[in-house]
Amino acid sequence: MKEEIIRIVNEEEQNLKDIFAKVNENSFCNSKKVLDAFHKYKISESHFGKTTGYGYNDIGRDAIEKVFSYVLDAEDALVRTQFISGSHALTVCLFALLRPNDTLLSITGLPYDTLHEVIGIKKNKSSLATYGVKYKQIDLVDNDFDVDTIKKVLKEEKIKVIAIQRSKGYSTRKSLTIAKLERVIKEIRTVSRDVIIMVDNCYCEFVETKTPLTVGADIIVGSLIKNLGGGLASNGGYIAGRKDLVELAAERLSLPGEGKEVGPSLGLNKELLQGLYFAPSVVASALKTAILTAKVLEKLGYDVEPKYNAERADIVQNIIFKDKEKLIKYCGGIQVGSAIDAFALPIPSYMPGYDDDVIMASGSFVQGSSIELSCDGPIREPYIAYQQGSLTYEYGKIGLITALSYMEEECTQEKK
Ligand SMILES: *Cc1c(COP(=O)(O)O)cnc(C)c1O
């Protein structure tokens, strides 16, 4: 680690006390909510037991779903390690809600990369499109919803499901706060009572105290190898919201007639409960790491999004490098500063589900976990790094210093 960089990071950190205090306050409120849920549902050691086979009568699994429901302001929830990750949970949810001739309307532009083949935006023999599910899209305007167009389409056409993706994915737009979500949902409800509003909530959990369900969404979906897994969940995803819709999702994940009743927890209940218990604090660490990164990189002359003092909707920090080598070296430096596989060097390559080559630094305990310090980006202009996580702020800070030291060293060496 370079002395000069340590000095700059420490100096910039001094200016973040008030902002960090707000992050801590938010984490306090969310921690209180998690603890209230544990108390309300009398969580005890008996919930850590496991089921195998069909997984009937898994009291731990059922309690976890009650706790998640409480924390997410949901009527019901499906929280399962049978979901591989968030993308799978989103897929199950879409297939559960949509039928032939129904229309899915995305009002946040192009959805997350891994959903392109699911919807059929990119050809795939198993897509929703092959079942006759139609797809439409309305782009954001100035980083906010195009309310007029949305209302016009809802008046003119029969839309079954509206999809909203809060986090930016690999796009250059801003992520969407609960306040923006609340406004658009109110507008949607003035023209349609029944359209199902589904929210991809990946990376946004516990960043604020309200959830999309608090402000009127019908169903939300997320990944357990991101925020709510607290770094402890080995895999999994969740779907939460209206009871009737969660039941449809359960019957798609397992089978019609069995729904939530089956699905063995295989000994993972404690991990999910403890992960959720840590999650508010882990999300706070990720946020503070993101804020410090924004502050320091801006100081060093780079464009960042969001800025250190902006209102945040998710834990993702962008650094717009505008330089391919810098993006690759910065990601390399994040890997060097990781706990696991720090000796490995990430190189850009093809990833299933993604259009461009992607570089991914993820020296994580759980494969691909991006609540742990990680940094990735598609190899395309303007060469944006998407940095997420850190289970603790201290490791995040060390990761940042290491990445900057490594980037500077490698880039000067290359010039010689
Ligand atoms: C990460 C992400 C997903 C997919 O989640 P995985 O757990 O990686 O499958 C979907 N949507 C958004 C917006 C994401 O950020």
Please give the tally of structural domains in the chain. Answer: 2
Q: Indicate whether 69 and 141 sit together in one domain.
A: yes
> Atom of ligand 1 at shortest distance to CA of 85?
7
285 and 237 belong to one structural domain: no
CATH number, position 398: 3.90.1150.60
Q: How far is CA 207 from the centre of its chain?
A: 11
Question: How many angstroms from the chain centroid is the CA of residue 169?
Answer: 9
Q: How far is the CA of 88 from the centre of ligand 1 (A)?
A: 9
Residue 98 lies in a domain: yes
**Do 291 and 267 lie in a common domain?**
no
Q: Is residue 73 part of a domain?
A: yes
Measured from CB, residues less than 6 Å from any atom of ligand 1 are 85-87, 112, 114, 165, 167, 169, 200, 202-203, 223, 225
Is 171:200 a contact under the CB 8 Å cutoff? Answer: no
354 falls in which pLDDT band (50, 70, 90)?
confident
For residue 408, being part of any structural domain is answered with yes
Between helix 59-72 and helix 269-299 the angle, nearest 10°, is 40
Residue to probe by mutation, ligand 1, list 200, 358, 376, most atoms within 8 Å of CB: 200
The mean per-residue pLDDT over the stretch 174-181 comes to 98
Share of the chain above pLDDT 70, in %: 99
For 138, 149, 176, 178, 204, the CA distances from 169, given in Å and listed in that order, are 16, 23, 11, 17, 12
What is d(CA 403, CA 341) in angstroms, rounded to the nearest whole number? 15
Q: Are residues 241 and 285 in the same domain?
A: no
Residues 314 and 345 in one domain: yes
User: Edge-to-edge strand order for the sheet containing 358-362?
Assistant: 303-305, 317-320, 384-388, 374-378, 358-362
pLDDT tens-digit series, residues 328-353: 999 999 999 999 999 999 999 998 76
Give the atom of ligand 1 at the shortest distance from the alpha carbon of 224: 7
Question: With helix as H, strand as E and coil as C, how does 370-382 read?
Answer: CCCCEEEEECCCC
The mean of the pLDDT values for the chain is: 96
Average pLDDT over residues 216-245: 98
Residues 6+ apart with CB under 8 A from 389: 286, 289, 315, 369, 370, 371, 372, 373, 374, 396
Could you tell me whether strands 161-165 and 196-200 are parallel, antiparallel, or unpaired per DSSP bridges? parallel
Pair 303, 200 in one domain = no
Q: Are residues 17 and 53 in the same domain?
A: no
Distance between CA 118 and CA 95 in Å, rounded?
9
Cis amide prior to 280 (ω within 30 degrees): no
Q: Do 89 and 156 reside in the same domain of the chain?
A: yes
Q: How confident is the model at residue 416 (pLDDT cuts 50, 70, 90)?
A: low
Average pLDDT of 2-25? 97
Q: Is residue 35 part of a domain?
A: no
Q: Are residues 206 and 295 in the same domain?
A: no
Residue where a domain stops, chosen among 250, 271, 292? 271
**SS3 of residue 369 by DSSP:** coil
**Residue 158 included in any domain:** yes
Q: Cα of 415 to ligand 1 centre, how many Å?
A: 37
Between the CA of 225 and the centroid of ligand 1 the distance, in Å, is 9
Query: How many whole angstroms separate alpha carbon 314 and alpha carbon 327?
Result: 21
Asked if the model's pLDDT at residue 146 lies above 70, the reply is yes
Closest ligand 1 atom number to CA of residue 115: 10
Same domain membership, residue 308 and residue 252: no
The Å distance, Cα 202 to ligand 1 centre, comes to: 6
Q: Are residues 235 and 340 in the same domain?
A: no
Instruction: Check whether residue 57 and residue 182 sit in a common domain.
Output: yes
Range of the domain at 392: 3-29+277-415
- Residue 56, classified by CB atoms within 10 Å of its CB into exposed (0-12), middle (13-18) or buried (19+), is exposed
Domain boundary residue, one of 212, 240, 271: 271
Which residues fall within 8 angstroms of residue 242, CB to CB, at 6 or more apart? 75, 76, 218, 219
Residue 42 domain flag: no
pLDDT over 80 at 74, yes or no: yes
Tokens linked to 326: 């810098």
- The answer as to whether 38 is a domain residue is no
Domain holding 255: CATH number? 3.40.640.10
Q: What's the token pair of residue 315?
A: 């834990």
The C-alpha angle 297, 302, 303, rounded to 5 degrees, equals: 105
Confidence of residue 59 (pLDDT cuts 50, 70, 90): very high
C-alpha 180/C-alpha 198 separation (Å) is: 15
Q: Which of 271, 292, 319 is the last residue of a domain?
A: 271
Give yes or no for residue 228 having a pLDDT over 90.
Answer: yes
pLDDT at 415: 65
Closest CA to 177 of 208, 150, 148, 146: 208
In a domain, 368, yes or no: yes
Q: Tell me the pLDDT tens digit for each residue of 96-120.
A: 999 999 999 999 999 998 999 999 9
Cβ partners under 8 Å of residue 310, min gap 6: none
- Taking CA atoms only, the protein residue closest to ligand 1 atom 1 is 202
Give residue 362 CA to ligand 1 midpoint distance, Å. 15
- 86 C-alpha to ligand 1 centroid (Å): 5
